Structure 1
Amino acid sequence: MSNSVSKRPLLKPFSLLLLFLSSFLLLRLFLSSSATAKATATATASVFTSSVSETVPPPPLVRIRRTFRSYDDYVKLQLNKTLDSRLRRVWATRDWDRKVRVFTRFFSDLAAEGLLSNSSAALCIGARLGQEVAALRGLGVSGAVGMDLAPAPPLVVRGDFHRQPFPDASFDFEFSNVFDHALYPDRFAAEVERTLRPGGFAVLHVAVHRRGDKYSANDLLGGVDGLLALFNHSRLVRSRKVDAFGLDTEVVIQKLKH
């Protein structure tokens, strides 16, 4: 009896020690797990934040160079070049034959590809005095006509490429080398498609690797893809590098038949 009584005090401190050690180990394990979870959450948030901050909107395909107080101010700027008496004198004299020859070569190549024929109703957009119209008529395309803000009879009629003065599906063929002068490139493209007949062709000379002059209203940042993105009802036939009075790329598109 005395022996059993003497052993009980020894068991109680030992049990308390075991309980203390167990509690200590559980606490350490809990704190370690919490720290790991917090570090993982912080790392995940950091990666997510980094990916969001690095996501930037795509660059514009066509950049408009400047704003105008009104559309009339834009038209006046364009007419400053078209109606410049010195330039018109150059275009009508020493520049005339050279440009007609170059345009004749371009249009002859297009005719050889079957994109243009003598029976084509053809429109030259932004034709100024009409050298490209003269080239087409010289090749036998008698239905060729030019359009510009300032008319130049008998080759060029008055018209704005943002709202062409022609009915829907008027032309089999349209040519322009003034896309960079469009203040509203999407309207320019929409009007080309509106006035082209289904299956008709449009040929554009544009500046992809060069900047336009001070009268240019836009820069084509997306290259040929940036141009094609504006034409919702057409397909690309081909594009090629050219040397065309400061423009470097020729793009041929065809309006879809359906």
Structure 2
Amino acid sequence: MEPASKPSKGRGLIARTLLFGVVVLLLRFVYVVAIRGGSCTSGDFCFFSLPDELSLPGAGGIFRGAANVRFAEESVVSNELRRRWTSRVWPKAVEFYAAIFQDLVVQGFLSPTSKCLCIDTSLGQEVFALKEIGIADSVGISKNKSPPLVITGDALHLPFGNNTFDFIFAGRVLDQNLRLGHLAEEISRVLKSEGFLVLLTGSAGDRYSLHSLEALFPFCKKVRSREVDGIDSLKTLREIVFQKEELNLNVLHKGEEGENDAYPSSGGILVNNCPVSAHKLQLLRSAEPLIEEEPLKPWITLKRNVKDIKYLPSMVDISFKQRYVYIDVGARSYGSSIGSWFRKQYPMQNKTFDIYAIEADKAFHGEYASRKGITLIPMAAWIRNESLSFEVNHDLEKKGDEKGLGMGRIRRDSLSSGNLHTVQGFDLAEWLKSTVTEKDFVVMKMDVEGAEFDLVPRLFETGAICLIDELFLECHYNRWQRCCVGKRSPKYENTYGQCIHLFSSVRDSGVLVHQWW
């Protein structure tokens, strides 16, 4: 039994020695933090140390440990900053960013001679990490001053000249800023040609959002995109590396002059002018199928189909769009679709949408005056700017007449069972091109009583169809009537087959369109 007891005694001695060492280190740490005011240097046995001497460009002073920061206009760092720098969070964050930056150095995106900017870094961990790996010419900017690592400033109005930095890092600002388009323009402005921009975001997890993010930086090319573990390793982040391309003004001017040539006249035939990329094809494959066979009771079938609709924001992240726009073409009353459907049911992902209500019938104009966030366009959506004959009959609408004459519609003939009014029509496609851009998230609902067979081809002809992300389209055709078995409505000449062709053409262009009712 004695031989077995010797190893046991040896293990006990080792354990007591290790415990004694831990107690000594703990007492030393308490002394440093509590007695000496929290100054951590390598000689103080702290687990994280600041460099003994760190030069700060433009600061007019020397950084000598967290408790001894000398600044041009401030004698010492505030107690709050000192507390943060000696916390557990600070070294963990610095270690995380240092690993990110070291990999970027290895890949050639960052070098010791780079002039670096970190956007919206409130505590300066990113800046300190850059300096820790030997990149001295680094500065951060945030609304909250954190000298000497971070200066005060607005990311939307960067206080630097054009082409100032070789390297820019932007992390959480992408997930918090509501004016991403403006932010992207400012970042692009201060980044040198051939310089690198690194974005770190918790979004951009799908192809659609990644494409939207890339579109915010049109003069940069993506050189890398990968997933990385977050600081706590519980959340996956996406790192995207862009390189700013040298601008060729001759190419830009040529593109502007030839803009109209990109969309040849179709003569009424639908032409696909939209680049259908992989992320759009993936979405279209996930969309609910079109109802190919004509329903015998369309007023029931199409209404039920709404439950099967897969909304775009329910499939992808729309965070990286510059603006969010909903256009209701043929809006009628506020409660018809804006109030009853869009604002209540559409998944907006907590985004604020600019809403446009396009309605020619004067009977509905008054109620929009008190509606906030809605712009009324009191005209008829059309293929050109001209005066139109517009038919309405509100008496029949109240009675629920099958012909639906209460729904205002454009008439190009002299036949009418309702009241004809002269209204102003406008070119919807040209208006759309002047109102939104490809960087915006655009949702459109169109219920125009048969005019869709004019408006949709015009959207293709002008290329405006490419600006629409999601379209809810009601197609009007000579459907079966409720009142009479085997009898079709004489109100419309188009067939259900022509409606399916219209829907298919829109989807072929890369636009997610749904059959509306």
TM-score, with length taken from structure 2 = 0.30
> 1:165 and 1:221, CA in 2 relative to 1: closer, same or farther beyond 3 A?
farther
Report the counterpart of residue 22 of structure 1 in structure 2. Answer: none
User: Any idea what the Cα deviations from partners look like across 1:153-206, whole Å, max 9, x if unmatched?
Assistant: 000001111111111111000001121111100011111100000000000001
Aligned pairs for 1:43-192 within 5 A: 89=83, 93-178=87-172, 179-192=174-187
Q: Which moved more, 1:245-254 or 1:225-234?
A: 245-254
Distance 1:91 1:177 in 2: 20
SS at match of 2:110: coil
Report the counterpart of residue 4 of structure 1 in structure 2. Answer: none
Instruction: Measure how far apart 1:247 and its partner are.
Output: 5.5
> 1:256 and 1:194, CA in 2 relative to 1: closer, same or farther beyond 3 A?
same
CA contact (8 A) 2:81 2:146 kept: no
Report the counterpart of residue 234 of structure 1 in structure 2. Answer: 220
Distance 1:191 1:89 in 2: 33
Q: Does 1:199 align with 2:185?
A: no
Aligned pairs for 1:28-43 within 5 A: none
CA contact (8 A) 1:162 1:182 kept: no
Instruction: Measure how far apart 1:244 and its partner are.
Output: 2.4
RMSD, aligned α-carbons: 2.3
SS at match of 1:132: helix
Q: Does 1:250 align with 2:236?
A: no
CA contact (8 A) 1:206 1:247 kept: no
CA contact (8 A) 1:172 1:200 kept: yes
Unaligned runs of 5+ in 1: 1-84, 211-219
What is the letter of the counterpart of residue 98 of structure 1?
A: K
Distance 1:182 1:131 in 2: 20
Distance 1:92 1:161 in 2: 27
Unaligned runs of 5+ in 2: 1-78, 248-517
Distance 2:166 2:95 in 1: 23
Distance 2:113 2:176 in 1: 29
CA contact (8 A) 1:92 1:129 kept: no
CA contact (8 A) 1:124 1:146 kept: yes
CA contact (8 A) 2:227 2:236 kept: no
> 1:87 and 1:142, CA in 2 relative to 1: closer, same or farther beyond 3 A?
closer
Segments of 4+ in structure 1 off by > 3 A?
85-92
Instruction: Measure how far apart 1:117 and its partner are.
Output: 0.6
What is the letter of the counterpart of residue 167 of structure 2?
A: F
CA contact (8 A) 2:120 2:140 kept: yes
> 1:223 and 1:139, CA in 2 relative to 1: closer, same or farther beyond 3 A?
same
Instruction: Measure how far apart 1:95 and its partner are.
Output: 0.5
> 1:247 and 1:195, CA in 2 relative to 1: closer, same or farther beyond 3 A?
farther
Distance 1:91 1:126 in 2: 18
Distance 1:131 1:141 in 2: 14
Instruction: Measure how far apart 1:93 and its partner are.
Output: 1.2
Distance 1:200 1:92 in 2: 34
How many pairs were matched up?
A: 165
SS at match of 1:222: helix
What is the letter of the counterpart of residue 238 of structure 1?
A: R
What is the letter of the counterpart of residue 185 of structure 2?
A: A
One of 210, 221, 233 as aligned partner of 1:224: 210
Distance 2:163 2:86 in 1: 31
User: Any idea what the Cα deviations from partners look like across 1:22-77, whole Å, max 9, x if unmatched?
Assistant: xxxxxxxxxxxxxxxxxxxxxxxxxxxxxxxxxxxxxxxxxxxxxxxxxxxxxxxx
Instruction: Measure how far apart 1:222 and its partner are.
Output: 3.3
Instruction: Measure how far apart 1:208 and its partner are.
Output: 2.3
SS at match of 2:144: coil
> 1:108 and 1:155, CA in 2 relative to 1: closer, same or farther beyond 3 A?
same
CA contact (8 A) 2:222 2:241 kept: yes
Distance 1:188 1:180 in 2: 12
